[in-house]
Amino acid sequence: MSDMSWKDLRDLDCARVRSLGESWKSYVPDMIEQTERLRNDVIGGHLSVEHFESDTATQVREHIDLSTGRFEDDLSDYADIRVATTLLEAADALEAEQRELEEVVGLIEAHDFVIEGDRHRYDVNFSGALHQAIWTTDPPEWLCHRIGIEKPQGLDVADRLRALGNGIDLAWEASCVAREYQDWLRAVMSRAHDADDDAAAALAAMRESPPELPPQLGATYDDLIDDYRTALSEAVAAEMEAIANGGSDMSPEQVNQWWESLTDAEREALIAEHPGWVGPTDGIPVDARDTANRAVLDTRIESLDDRIAAIESQMAQMEAYGSGDGAYGGKSHAELQAELIRLQEDRELLGDLSDQVTDGNGNPAVYGGTGQSYYLLGFDTEGEGRAVVSIGNPDTAANVNAYVPGTGAKLDDVDGGLMTRAETMAYDAYRKAPDPGQETATVLWIGYDAPDNAMPFRDGAGLDVEAMDARYAEDAAEDLSSFTQGLRATSERDAAELTLTGHSYGTTVIGIAAATDGVDADNLILVASPGTGVATADALGVGAENVWATTNSQDVIQYTTVHGTDPASESFGANVFESESVGRNPISNHSVYWDDSNKDAGRNTMALIVTGQRG
């Protein structure tokens, strides 16, 4: 586990880490030169059939070919994808945090604060000098400026008495600033520890169950080679399974490199035989995920239809011939009824999802507003259900906007209001595109278990408001982080603009993911936010200048910022833009941001951000 202190991070030689990664990268072609000598000069040259022909000669040539192939796969899978890419990614990630660390530590020291406490949860406190300065009527100029008073000059007694009278305000303001820096420092260290742990896990995982090497020639060769060949044919599927189940610890970029290293036949076989592993995996290209997810969706629907028909048939028999309790899997009629309802609900949800992404002819459906196809990047019926659907292909689009909805979001919304919002954003990006050929893909990301309610409800222990609980956002952070990395890894455009747009609790999800695991985004748009878990935009790791916030004047959310500083407040430090309210109802005004009433204000601004025309 990463145990870096902030000083360790500050002093880390990231350039050397990157240089070593490049050494591993360049080692690969040097080794391939050697394997090519074996293929060309030995198998195809001195040891060709022309010079050496017999059963054994054939076997030796095959053996050299197998050994060479194994080493080439190892060079790709381990030296390149695992070691080199891990080092290069770690160097980039740690260097980015180093830059932020330098900035925040500079501010901490310049303002006379000190860093104390545990390296996994630093505190930023007053230095003795700052404490003394405030309470001995000689506060620093920056602090006086923050509360709007003049710094006492010289030995003027009246000036100093005024400063003493402002002591509590000064101390309070200084503690607010300390808190901002503390949040920022903690976010930087959290992301740095996370990047370090991820890199270590990727390197450790590669050694866990590597494929065997070919047996060496000798008396036992014939007995061992068949086992080796069998294991070889199963290795790709085993690796895919480990990636899908989280056992490989590869980053989405590494998954993408691995996927690209497979042959067309291997990729097609994985999609056909294991679509459940391919479909949800970040780092696999969108086209492949879409094909796999549609196959899984069809299979799930067929399976549900079969089970529903079986239960209905059994229940009909029970009703015709008396109670018949326990006849079907030991279940009573009432239990079957309950199971039937659950299955029918799942069937309806999946049927709606299928209808959303598929047209009447069984082809991918097209959103009429922009002419873009829908892509299914993931779904799940567990709990409230999850779904990730894109309008347009993120891999080929110039811009990608992923919309993270808030409280109440669930699979059921894929054909409802949340998809309508995503479609509105897709349309806005289309109509505001700087040129007609510039495509924006808009993703509806319901990839997390969202809170069910924002209003108090009574549970067994008393009143509860799930949207006040940051746990839902914390649980979503890793998945959202991975999703953004996957989009970046599979994009065919190096300079694609990637935006995360959150609404309400969705902004908390984005904020916590950005501050803890980090998100690979160019812009964050925080709409009607109850807070992002941090005090300033600086702590979100994408640069405060790339953080955008809006809350209309009548929205109830401005009174319920329970997850930290209001991003639309001046002190948060984001770019604030206007959105129109409709009437004076504070509840309904929380949900008007994608209505026509906001088209010329907030919607236009969001479209300009998403298409890279602001900032």
Partner 1 sequence: MAGADVFTMEPEEVHQSVAILFDVESEVDAQTVTLIDGTAELAQQLKDAGTALGPALAEAAEWWRLSRAGGFSRLCGTTGEYLAVCAEEAVEVDEYNAGDFASLAGHDRYPGRAGEHASARPDF
Using CB under 8 A as the criterion, which residues of the chain lie in contact with partner 1 when the complex forms?
A: 1-5, 8, 11-13, 16-17, 20, 23-24, 27, 30-31, 34-35, 37-38, 41-42, 45-47, 51-57, 59-60, 63-64, 67, 70-71, 74, 78-79, 82-83, 87, 90, 119, 196-197, 199-201, 203-204, 206-207, 210, 213-214, 216-222
Query: Which pairs with CB-CB distance under 8 Å and at least 24 residues apart come from 163-172?
Result: 163/137, 163/138, 163/139, 164/137, 166/139, 167/134, 167/135, 167/137, 170/134, 170/139, 170/143, 170/144, 171/134, 171/135
Nearer to partner 1, 38 or 544 (CB): 38
Residue 13 vs 264, nearer CB to partner 1: 13
CB nearer to partner 1: pick between 68 and 529:
68
Q: Could you give the CA distance from residue 576 to residue 295 in angstroms, rounded to a whole number?
A: 43
Q: Which two tokens stand for residue 554?
A: 């009548």
Instruction: Provide the token pair at 113.
Output: 């604060």
Q: Which is nearer to partner 1, 254 or 579 (CB)?
A: 254
What is the DSSP-derived secondary structure letter of residue 558? G
Tallying the residues shown for the chain, one arrives at 615
Q: Are 430 and 370 in contact (CB under 8 A)?
A: yes
CA 336/CA 344 separation, integer angstroms: 12
Q: For residues 121 and 540, what is the distance between their CA atoms, to the nearest angstrom?
A: 17
CA distance 59 to 228: 14
Least distance between partner 1 and beta carbon 515 (Å): 20
Complex with partner 1: residue 200 or 269, whichever CB lies closer: 200
Strand 497-503 versus strand 523-527 pairing type: parallel
Give me the least distance between CB of 191 and partner 1, in Å please: 14
Q: Which is nearer to partner 1, 193 or 289 (CB)?
A: 193
Tell me the two tokens of residue 238: 């085993």
Minimum CB distance to partner 1, residue 205 (Å): 10
Rounded least distance, CB 44 to partner 1, Å: 11
Paired residues of 526 in beta bridges: 502, 549
Least spacing, CB of residue 195 vs partner 1, in Å: 9
In the bound state with partner 1, the residue whose beta carbon lies nearer, of 200 and 576, is 200
Kindly tell me which of 195 and 473 has the beta carbon lying closer to partner 1: 195
3-state SS assignment for residue 186 = helix
Torsion of CA 434, 440, 442, 447, to 10 degrees: -130
Which CB, 194 or 428, lies closer to partner 1?
Answer: 194
| Smallest separation, CB 51 to partner 1 (Å) | 4
Residues 6 or more apart in contact with residue 49 via CB below 8 angstroms: 57
Residue 540: CB minimum distance to partner 1, A: 24
Nearest CB to partner 1, comparing residues 93 and 163 = 93
Q: How far is the CB of 2 from partner 1 (least distance, A)?
A: 4
Q: Which is nearer to partner 1, 149 or 203 (CB)?
A: 203
Q: Is the dihedral of CA 347, 353, 356, 361 positive or negative?
A: negative
Cβ at position 29, least distance to partner 1 in Å: 11
CA separation for the pair 4, 101 (Å, rounded): 13
Residue 210 C-beta: closest distance to partner 1, Å = 7
For 269, the 3-state DSSP assignment is helix
Closest CA to 377 of 392, 386, 388, 385: 388
Chain CA centroid to CA 346, Å = 26
Confirm if 229 and 52 have CB atoms less than 8 A apart.
Answer: no
Least Å from the CB of residue 123 to partner 1: 19
